[in-house]
Amino acid sequence: MLDLIISTVTQGFIYALLSYGIYITYKILDFPDLTVDGSFPLGAAVTAVLLVKGVNPYLTLPLAMAVGALAGLVTGVIHVCFGVRDLLAGIITMTALFSINLQIAGSNLAVGRDVDTIFTAEPVATVFGNFTLLQRKLIVAFLLVVIFKILLDLYFKTKNGLLLRAVGDNDVLVTSLAKDKGKVKILGLVIANALVALCGCVVCHEQRSFSATMGTGQMVFGLATVIIGTTIFKKEGFVKGTTAVVVGSVIYKVCIQIAISLGLPANLLKLVTAVLFLVILVVGNRQKGGHKEACLR
Amino acid sequence: MRKTMKRALCAVVAMAMVFGMGACGEKKMPVIGISQYGEHGSLDNCREGFLQGLADAGLVEGTDFTVDYQNAGFDDNICTQIGQNFSAKNVDLMCGIATNAATACFAAAEDKDIPVIFTAITDPVKAKLDSGNITGTSDKLPVEAQLDLIRKMQPEADTIGIIYTTSEPNSVSAIEEYQAKAGNYGFTVEAVGVTAQSEVTQAADMLISKGVDCFSNLTDNNVVGVLSSVLEKTNEAEIPVYGSEVEQVTLGCVAAAGIDYFELGRQTGAMAAKVLKGEAKASEIPYETIAEYGIYINSAAIAEMGMTVPADIAEKAIESQE
């Protein structure tokens, strides 16, 4: 029981890194970024190859982020410099990445148990030696989530971060400040996809495998977590967006785990998950009270 | 804020209740957690065979063990959570059907000593599922037997068309084997890779236009998923299609030298029974490849193609019409 809660919350934390990325593109930049379905497995593919080659597991984190950033850069350049629509730019990169990921990793790639991951290597193994692997995974995932939350929150307060937020809200303002909104958009995509690839990297450490299909549906998952998180905390002004999406991600994973634990027929799993989301969203909107009236009118 | 706290508390309590329900009643009877990658004829047969294998060993569901069956609907993330669910409930044995499900189970069991039994995996060594408290059965295709069968059925044929998914490791390794061995039987292989199920029928059109003498199928999930529409096209072009297992022949392929997934599952179930009874540890049992391949034919489909079955094949073949 406790184990189940720990492993489910761990999943929520790990995937919160992806939610951060979607939060930046979807919520801040208002950019539906489908690159995610490709950059997520990209991070995992690079990580799997590096781990098998015997690279220090902690080094895979920045390296995965770097390749993810590159993927974001490609989408950004396609969109901003070549004027391709946002959705299409993401689709192009995602499609290309499918092949690139397979080129990088061969086909599906497994990392054997003899290879150390970020959860089992030094110094984590010594510092958190008294904990079980399950608990260690939770601790490491939590640390990563907190570190990147703090970094992002600090970044949003910088001049550059404020510009990023302004592009999504009111890009005319950015232009009037004599700033290039295209560059800001590209930067946002770079940061977002670096985070998404980081998430893929951690998932690869945790699952000890890369599979070509692991990216499917990650964009939808990320959107759901962002929407769930921000809906719940709509009224709580002091709760930061980054915190909200972490909660959203955990709730999502809990919903799935509840559906699994209930032993529902396999084919109904997704339907139940959809219903649970709907309930959360409706309850969230009730609180605001706006939508019901709009419907009645 | 207080409201939010209340709601959060409610959610936690609800979660605790749900998980608690799942947790009660365990430890009385061994629990087998079966994680199946998706709903799919062959994989379903595997699962049924697995349960049959346990029954053959004298273990009765309901008195000797209970089954917690979960299906991930081909979603890797759900696979992960199913594995963790089993691990947290401390099931006595996990059964992973297809590579992704088995990998997730094995990862979830890393810090516990829960035995994992896999089935329907082509290459357990490559998937790193060959060491640790894990064993199972491989569904590697009998490629040579298939080539031999095609040669006997169509002595004049030159080229074999194969459609495969480039991201399925099972398919990629099977294609490599086909290409390496086709020459020995006087064939050339025309392989077309696809990335999604929607591209399969296009690939079939392409192979037909290239004038291949026959099609041969792998256990490729994308291709098998739309086999009926592929068969519609090949029947029109009068090109015979060879399957890779009994289900495909029943659907309308002319013949197959292949695996009976029910038998594969049964073999797996026998291994699980040993582990469950404590006769052997999963770590001590090497993984097995199915020893016997069946030859399956569909007489109606063969007649439609105007082909005849050579006597030596007809003897051992199993008729597999609907």
Ordered DSSP codes for B37-79 = SS--HHHHHHHHHHHHHHHHTT--BTTTBEEEEEE-TT-HHHH
Nearest CA in chain A to B37: A266
Instruction: Looking at the structure, tell me whether residues B147 and B72 fall in a common domain.
Output: no
> Is the pLDDT assigned to residue A287 strictly greater than 80?
no
A288: exposed, middle or buried (C-beta count within 10 Å: 0-12, 13-18, 19+)?
Answer: exposed
Quick one: pLDDT at residue B10?
Answer: 56
A4:B84 CB<8 A: yes
Instruction: Looking at the structure, tell me whether residues B190 and B134 fall in a common domain.
Output: no
**Residues, chain B, total?**
322
Averaged pLDDT for residues A58-75: 96
| pLDDT confidence tier of residue B14, bands split at 50, 70 and 90 | low
Instruction: Looking at the structure, tell me whether residues B207 and B133 fall in a common domain.
Output: no
- DSSP-assigned letters across all residues of chain A: -HHHHHHHHHHHHHHHHHHHHHIIIIIIS----TTHHHHHHHHHHHHHHHHHHT--HHHHHHHHHHHHHHHHHHHHHHHHTT---HHHHHHHHHHHHHHHHHHHHSSSEE--TTS--TTTSTTHHHHTTTS-HHHHHHHHHHHHHHHHHHHHHHHHHSHHHHHHHHHHH-HHHHHHTT--HHHHHHHHHHHHHHHHHHHHHHHHHHHTEE-TTTTTTHHHHHHHHHHHHHHHTSS-TTS-HHHHHHHHHHHHHHHHHHHHHTT--GGGHHHHHHHHHHHHHHHHHHHH-HHHHHHH-
Domain CATH for B32:
3.40.50.2300
> Is the pLDDT assigned to residue B23 strictly greater than 50?
no
Quick one: pLDDT at residue B26?
Answer: 43
Averaged pLDDT for residues A143-165: 93
| pLDDT confidence tier of residue A234, bands split at 50, 70 and 90 | confident
Q: Is B16 contained in some domain?
A: no
Cα–Cα distance between B226 and B121 in angstroms, integer? 21
Q: Is B129 contained in some domain?
A: yes
Q: Is B135 helix (H, G, I), strand (E, B) or coil?
A: strand
Q: Is B297 contained in some domain?
A: yes
Beta strand A209-210 pairing with B116-121: unpaired
Mean of pLDDT over chain B: 87
Is A210 an interface residue toward B (CB < 8 Å)?
no
Q: At what angle do helices A2-22 and A133-157 cross, to 10 degrees?
A: 30
Residue B139 DSSP class: -
Beta strand B288-289 pairing with B93-97: unpaired
Of B86, B70, B81, give the one whose Cα is nearest residue B35: B70
Averaged pLDDT for residues A21-28: 93
Is A288 an interface residue toward B (CB < 8 Å)?
no
Phi-psi region of B74 (alpha: psi -120 to 50; beta: other; left: phi over 0): left
Q: Is B163 contained in some domain?
A: yes
% of chain A with per-residue pLDDT over 70:
94
Cα–Cα distance between B68 and B90 in angstroms, integer? 12
> Is the pLDDT assigned to residue A126 strictly greater than 90?
no
Residue B169 DSSP class: H
B15:A110 CB<8 A: no
Question: Model pTM greater than 0.80?
Answer: yes
A207:B103 CB<8 A: yes
B15:A254 CB<8 A: yes
B169:A107 CB<8 A: yes
Q: Between residues B292 and A151, which one has the greater pLDDT?
A: A151
Q: Which residues pair with B118 in a beta bridge?
A: B96, B136
Q: Is B236 contained in some domain?
A: yes
pLDDT per position as a tens digit, B214-234? 999 998 878 988 999 999 999
Cross-chain CB nearest to B111 (options A1, A132, A261): A132
Quick one: pLDDT at residue B137?
Answer: 93
Instruction: Looking at the structure, tell me whether residues B236 and B252 fall in a common domain.
Output: yes
Cross-chain CB nearest to B107 (options A8, A208, A262): A208
| pLDDT confidence tier of residue B187, bands split at 50, 70 and 90 | very high
> Is the pLDDT assigned to residue B67 strictly greater than 80?
yes
B128:A112 CB<8 A: yes
**Residues, chain A, total?**
297
Please write down the long-range contacts of A127-132, taking CB distance under 8 Å and 24 or more positions apart.
A132/B111
> Is the pLDDT assigned to residue A216 strictly greater than 60?
yes
pLDDT per position as a tens digit, B286-316? 999 876 788 999 999 999 888 888 888 888 8
Contact at 8 Å (CB) between B263 and B50? no
Q: Which has the minimum average pLDDT: A68-72, A106-110, A222-226, B228-232?
A: A106-110
Quick one: pLDDT at residue A144?
Answer: 96
| pLDDT confidence tier of residue A121, bands split at 50, 70 and 90 | confident
Instruction: Looking at the structure, tell me whether residues B167 and B307 fall in a common domain.
Output: yes
CA distance to A62, A124, A186, per residue, from A197 (Å): 10, 22, 16
* B293: amino acid identity, one letter: Y
pLDDT per position as a tens digit, A82-114? 999 999 999 999 999 998 998 998 878 888 888
% of chain B with per-residue pLDDT over 90:
55
Cα–Cα distance between A23 and A232 in angstroms, integer? 15
Q: Which has the minimum average pLDDT: A141-145, B17-21, B51-55, B269-273?
A: B17-21
Instruction: Looking at the structure, tell me whether residues B198 and B180 fall in a common domain.
Output: yes
Residue A157 CB contacts under 8 Å (≥ 6 apart), including other chains = none
Quick one: pLDDT at residue A21?
Answer: 96
Nearest CA in chain A to B7: A232
Quick one: pLDDT at residue B127?
Answer: 85
Tell me the residue range of the domain where B302 lies: 143-259+293-319
Of B101, B61, B98, give the one whose Cα is nearest residue B84: B101
The widest CA-to-CA distance across chain A, in whole angstroms, is 63
Beta strand B159-165 pairing with B214-216: parallel
Quick one: pLDDT at residue B5?
Answer: 55
Is B22 an interface residue toward A (CB < 8 Å)?
yes
Instruction: Looking at the structure, tell me whether residues B132 and B198 fall in a common domain.
Output: no
Instruction: Looking at the structure, tell me whether residues B180 and B315 fall in a common domain.
Output: yes
Q: Between residues A49 and B1, which one has the greater pLDDT?
A: A49
Q: Is B238 contained in some domain?
A: yes
**What's the structural domain count of chain B?**
2
Cross-chain CB nearest to B172 (options A107, A207, A283): A107
* Backbone φ and ψ of B30, nearest 5°: -60, 140
% of chain B with per-residue pLDDT over 70:
91
Of A121, A111, A129, give the one whose Cα is nearest residue A52: A111
ipTM: 0.83
| pLDDT confidence tier of residue B22, bands split at 50, 70 and 90 | very low
Instruction: Looking at the structure, tell me whether residues B273 and B309 fall in a common domain.
Output: no
Instruction: Looking at the structure, tell me whether residues B38 and B170 fall in a common domain.
Output: no
| pLDDT confidence tier of residue B8, bands split at 50, 70 and 90 | low
Quick one: pLDDT at residue B169?
Answer: 78
pLDDT per position as a tens digit, B124-163? 888 888 889 999 999 888 899 999 999 999 999 999 999 9
Q: How many CB pairs under 8 A join A and B?
A: 135
Query: What number of other Cβ atoms are within 10 A of residue A203's Cβ?
Result: 26
Instruction: Looking at the structure, tell me whether residues B222 and B310 fall in a common domain.
Output: yes
> Is the pLDDT assigned to residue A253 strictly greater than 70?
yes
Averaged pLDDT for residues B120-126: 87
> Is the pLDDT assigned to residue B118 strictly greater than 80?
yes
Quick one: pLDDT at residue B24?
Answer: 47
Q: How far is B229 from chain A (nearest CA, A)?
A: 24
Residue B199 CB contacts under 8 Å (≥ 6 apart), including other chains = none
B18:A213 CB<8 A: no
| pLDDT confidence tier of residue B123, bands split at 50, 70 and 90 | confident
Instruction: Looking at the structure, tell me whether residues B205 and B313 fall in a common domain.
Output: yes
